[in-house]
Amino acid sequence: MNKLLATLIASLFAVSAMAASHTGAPMAAASGAKPAAEAKADAKAEKKSEMKAEKKAKKAKKSKKADAGAPAASAAK
């Protein structure tokens, strides 16, 4: 009876240790969600950088227009 109880308790510890070690991050081969999330994050970052570049270009164009108009206004005085 003692050997049976010892075996049951040892197996309980072994199973709980194995289960605890597998509760972390999902396995790469089994989870297809991680690459999709990374792709989505990359697309979002790329879109953000494109919007930033467009905004910078518009601002530069606007300031260039204002600079071109400024000498003409001061020359008219």
Q: Where are the domains of the chain?
A: 41-77
pTM: 0.38
For residues 52 and 64, what is the distance between their CA atoms, to the nearest angstrom? 18
The total number of residues shown for the chain amounts to 77
Identify which of 46, 22, 24, 26 has the alpha carbon closest to the alpha carbon of residue 35.
Answer: 26
pLDDT for the residue 77: 52
Task: Report, as ranges of residue numbers, the positions in the chain whose pLDDT lies below 70.
Answer: 22-36, 69-77
What is the per-residue pLDDT for 36? Answer: 67
Predicted pLDDT at 62:
82
Identify the pLDDT of residue 64. Answer: 76
pLDDT of residue 75: 52
Q: Please, are residues 23 and 16 in contact by the beta-carbon 8 Å criterion?
A: no
